[in-house]
Amino acid sequence: MTTRTSIPWRYLRLAVGLVFFGVGLGLVVLGDFGLPPWDILHQGLAEQTFLTFGTAMIVIGIVLLIALVILKEPLGVGTLANVLVIGLVVDATISIGGDPSNSVIRALCTALGPIVVAVGSGFYIGARFGPGPRDGLMTALDRRGVAIWKARTLIEGAALACGLVMGGTIGWGTVWFVVVIGPAVQFFLRMLDTEPTNTGT
């Protein structure tokens, strides 16, 4: 009988989570009221090159994977799948969604985007097949004596600055994503983790 911790079930959760994650980011892009820091970088790179938004995500992910290998950080199936799948799903979502002009629809896309990303995070992180490359970079710095909060702030700040220089979009959607994503991921991870623990608050 398949249990929530069996390998096939965990792979299914990984796949579902990555799709949800990509759709959520795609919704934020369609809303066009501002992107999260990393996606401002992806958008900026796409604006300056022939790359689509999703392929820019993949390129940045590959660069981060190389950095993680150099830093001798452990990689998992989830880490590699994160790089390859999410960008393709984002491109598909943007293609299907088109270019909405209705401000109410765009606002809904922006508002719902981080919630969908959080559901995806709960599925794929809870499957326990390895973190995404951006989280891996954060933990790599932590292993080298940089506190998690400092590492996260440094990484997100650098991505934001580079993205803005290259023409990425910042707005109320950026603030909304930053405020909502942490609590939402914590909520859904508690619900969807394959090995839940009592973490109190």
Q: With respect to residue 197, please indicate whether it lies within any of the assigned structural domains.
A: no
d(CA 61, CA 70): 14
pLDDT given for residue 61 in this prediction:
92
What pTM, to 2 d.p., does this model score? Answer: 0.84
Instruction: Kindly state the tokens that stand for 63.
Output: 């660069």
pLDDT given for residue 1 in this prediction:
42
From residue 83, give the alpha-carbon distance in Å to each of 29, 55, 77, 111: 18, 10, 10, 25
pLDDT given for residue 56 in this prediction:
95
pLDDT given for residue 189 in this prediction:
79
Q: With respect to residue 50, please indicate whether it lies within any of the assigned structural domains.
A: yes
3-state class of 59 per DSSP? helix
From residue 150, give the alpha-carbon distance in Å to each of 11, 138, 141, 164: 32, 9, 9, 21
**Rg of the Cα trace of the chain?**
16
Q: With respect to residue 199, please indicate whether it lies within any of the assigned structural domains.
A: no
pLDDT given for residue 104 in this prediction:
95
pLDDT given for residue 122 in this prediction:
86
Q: With respect to residue 2, please indicate whether it lies within any of the assigned structural domains.
A: no
Task: Quickly tell me which residue has 């190389």 as its tokens.
Answer: 66
Instruction: Please tell me the total count of domains within the chain.
Output: 1
pLDDT given for residue 4 in this prediction:
57
DSSP string, 128-186: TS---HHHHHHHHHHHTT--HHHHHHHHHHHHHHHHHHTT---SHHHHHHHHHHHHHHH
d(CA 149, CA 70): 23
Q: With respect to residue 198, please indicate whether it lies within any of the assigned structural domains.
A: no
pLDDT given for residue 3 in this prediction:
54
pLDDT in tens, the chain (201 residues): 455 568 888 899 999 999 999 999 999 999 999 998 889 999 999 999 999 999 999 999 999 999 888 988 888 888 899 999 999 999 999 999 988 989 999 999 999 999 999 999 888 877 888 778 887 787 788 788 887 678 877 888 888 899 999 988 899 999 999 888 878 888 887 887 656 544 443
Q: With respect to residue 138, please indicate whether it lies within any of the assigned structural domains.
A: yes
Q: With respect to residue 1, please indicate whether it lies within any of the assigned structural domains.
A: no
pLDDT given for residue 8 in this prediction:
86
Instruction: Tell me the residue range of the domain where 46 lies.
Output: 7-192
pLDDT given for residue 191 in this prediction:
81
The Cβ of residue 2 has, within 10 Å, a number of other Cβ atoms equal to 9
